[in-house]
Amino acid sequence: MVERYGGPEVVRMGEVDEPVATEPDLVVRVEAATVGATDSTNRLGRPAFARLDFGLTRPKHPVLGYDFAGVVERVGSAVRRFAPGDRVYGTLAPAPGSHAERVRIAEDGLVARIPDGLDAASAVSLLDGFFTAMPFLRDGGRVGPGQTVLVNGASGTVGSSAVQFAKHLGATVVGVCGTGHLDLVRALGADEVIDYTRDDFTEARDRYDVIFDAVGKRSFRECRPALTPDGIYLTTVPALSVLLRARHARSSSTGRRAGIMFTGLHGIAEKSADLALIGELAASGAIVPVIDRVVPFDEIVEAHRRVDGGHKAGNVVVAMAPVLREARATPGAAS
Ligand SMILES: NC(=O)c1ccc[n+]([C@@H]2O[C@H](COP(=O)([O-])OP(=O)(O)OC[C@H]3O[C@@H](n4cnc5c(N)ncnc54)[C@H](OP(=O)(O)O)[C@@H]3O)[C@@H](O)[C@H]2O)c1
């Protein structure tokens, strides 16, 4: 839990009340949860505008974490779809609380059975990245066959999901990452990889229908010449210029455009459909989870340090259950 803003060292183990399963709710014993970029933001209280939501002077939600995977332990009297013993995964977003031994979630919340063959660490590693990449590419970029999509930060949580989902949508995919992650990004399906330490993708001209900057490292101004004349630049990280241009992007159907989304704020109906799709694609093997490392829950400070470093490959997972099975190996995953 975090009771003041600061670096990874402000995270500590603590006691909170046991969740109770009221009529429409499940209590899930958490086996695995991810520590992600949003947890860093919430822990740091930076950028400052994040405090408007998370607490002006100190965090109003001491337990961080959004996504979880585990086993249903108790159900309320009105619950019909789930029973104790079911293996489930889901997200508590927009409020945090999954860095805990147990979570409570409504039966009609963002919770579903874990696809067969996935352990908890693998299941939870599907959520943050795909919940983010899917709407960006499908709704923001309208990605489809015949398009060329560049994913900047292709080895991160969002980027590794974006590479896979853009391939699933039929696009030609170019992934940008550092030298150590080129093989991983190729293994995830990228048709071409660019090492940002050697080459600058923004030097291309009129090439990409979509540039998805999954890590928000390059501006629209820099990327604009590399877009096709009707291409769109999408970023996960808000810049004022993009926020202003995003209004234009919605109203304009021609010309190079820029857009941003705040996928964490999307409604439950939209996210439920995406959770079902994530489950289907994972069950068929069309997408795979990418795990940077699995860290025991009581070493969560190390997990925060790894996330803050900005070079994880996919997801950092904290494992609550002492008997958590070895995380399924991901092709080419580097640590
Ligand atoms: N708008 C939204 O709705 C939304 C939703 C979720 C997340 N986000 C935001 O999305 C961002 C990305 O999150 P994430 O969890 O995917 O990040 P992440 O996993 O921490 O990204 C790490 C990856 O970024 C790569 N990288 C680092 N510097 C780079 C550079 N200069 N150029 C290209 N790649 C670089 C690293 O590759 P190497 O190690 O190979 O260098 C590493 O694999 C965060 O800022 C997060 O807050 C926004």
Q: What is the pLDDT of residue 253?
A: 54
Q: Where residue 232 falls among pLDDT bands split at 50, 70, 90?
A: very high
Rg of the chain taking only CA atoms, in angstroms: 20
Residues 256, 138 share a domain: yes
Residues 118, 283: Cα–Cα separation, whole Å = 9
Number of domains observed in the structure of the chain: 2
Confidence of residue 242 (pLDDT cuts 50, 70, 90): low
Find tokens 């489930």 and name the residue: 88
Mutate to test the pocket of ligand 1, among 158, 181, 306, 330 (most ligand atoms within 8 A of CB): 158
If asked whether residues 108 and 148 sit together in one domain, one would say: no
- Please write the tens of the pLDDT for every residue from 110-169: 999 999 999 999 999 999 999 999 999 999 999 999 999 999 999 999 999 999 999 999
Looking at residue 21, what is its pLDDT? 81
In the predicted model, what is the mean pLDDT of the chain?
92
48-78 confidence digits (pLDDT tens): 888 988 999 999 999 999 999 999 999 999 9
pLDDT value of residue 251: 42
Is residue 72 situated within a structural domain?
yes
User: CATH code at 220?
Assistant: 3.40.50.720
Greater pLDDT, 83 or 264: 83
Res 55: pLDDT: 93
pLDDT of residue 247: 52
> 214 alpha carbon to ligand 1 midpoint, in Å?
6
Amino acid 265: pLDDT: 75
Q: Is the pLDDT of residue 239 over 80?
A: no
Residue 216 burial class via C-beta count within 10 angstroms: exposed 0-12, middle 13-18, buried 19 and up: middle
Same domain? 119 vs 161? no
Residues 137 and 258 in one domain: yes
Q: Report whether residue 238 contacts ligand 1, using a CB cutoff of 6 Å.
A: no
Model confidence at 329: pLDDT above 70: no
Confidence class for position 246, pLDDT limits 50, 70, 90:
low
Alpha carbon of 117 to ligand 1 centroid (Å): 28
CA 311, CA 196: separation in Å to the nearest integer?
A: 13
Measured by CA distance, the residue closest to atom 36 of ligand 1 is 311
Contact 133, 154 (CB under 8 A): no
Spatial CB neighbours of 147, under 8 Å, sequence gap ≥ 6: 141, 171, 172, 209, 210
Q: Which residue has the higher pLDDT, 238 or 63?
A: 63
Q: Is 313 in the pocket of ligand 1 (CB under 6 A)?
A: yes
Pick the atom of ligand 1 nearest to 265's CA: 3
CB 69 near ligand 1, within 6 Å: no
Report the phi/psi class of residue 272: left, alpha or beta, with left for phi > 0 and alpha for psi in -120 to 50.
alpha
- Residue 238: how many other CB atoms lie within 10 Å: 15
Nearest CA to ligand 1 atom 9: 236
Work out the pLDDT band at 323, boundaries 50, 70, 90. Answer: very low
My answer on whether 118 and 231 are in the same domain is: no
Q: Do 100 and 20 share a structural domain?
A: yes
Cβ of 157 closer than 6 Å to ligand 1, yes or no, is yes
Tell me which of 185, 215, 242 to substitute to probe ligand 1's pocket, judged by most ligand atoms within 8 Å of the beta carbon.
215
Ligand 1 atom at minimum distance from 180 CA: 40
Amino acid at 73: E
pLDDT of residue 38: 94
d(CA 311, CA 106): 35
Nearest to 185 by CA among 161, 201, 202: 161
Quick: pLDDT tens for 281-299: 999 999 999 999 999 999 9
CB of residue 156 inside a 6 A radius of ligand 1: yes
Residue 20: per-residue pLDDT: 84
**Shared-domain flag, residues 153 and 48:** no
> How would you class 211 by CB atoms within 10 Å of its CB: exposed for 0-12, middle for 13-18, buried for 19 or more?
buried
Q: How confident is the model at residue 170 (pLDDT cuts 50, 70, 90)?
A: very high
Give me the residues paired with residue 316 across strands. 35, 293
**Residue 156 Cα: closest atom of ligand 1:** 19
We report the CATH number of the domain holding residue 65 as 3.90.180.10
Whether residue 173 is found in the same domain as residue 198 = yes
The whole-number average pLDDT for the span 201-215 is: 98
- What local confidence, expressed as pLDDT, does residue 262 receive? 83
Q: What is the pLDDT of residue 93?
A: 93
Of ligand 1's atoms, which has the minimum distance to the CA of residue 41? 47
Q: What is the mean pLDDT of residues 13-35?
A: 93
CA of 193 to the centre of ligand 1 (A): 16
Least confident piece of the model among 96-110, 188-202, 233-247, 281-295: 233-247
In a domain, 55, yes or no: yes
Distance of CA 60 to the CA centre of its chain: 23
- Structural domain boundaries, residue 82: 8-125+289-319
**Range 236-249 average pLDDT:** 68
pLDDT bracket for residue 252 (50, 70, 90): low
Position 2 pLDDT exceeds 50: yes
Q: Using the mean position of ligand 1's atoms as its centre, give its distance from the Cα of residue 16 in Å.
A: 31
Task: Enter the tokens of residue 29.
Answer: 């014993």
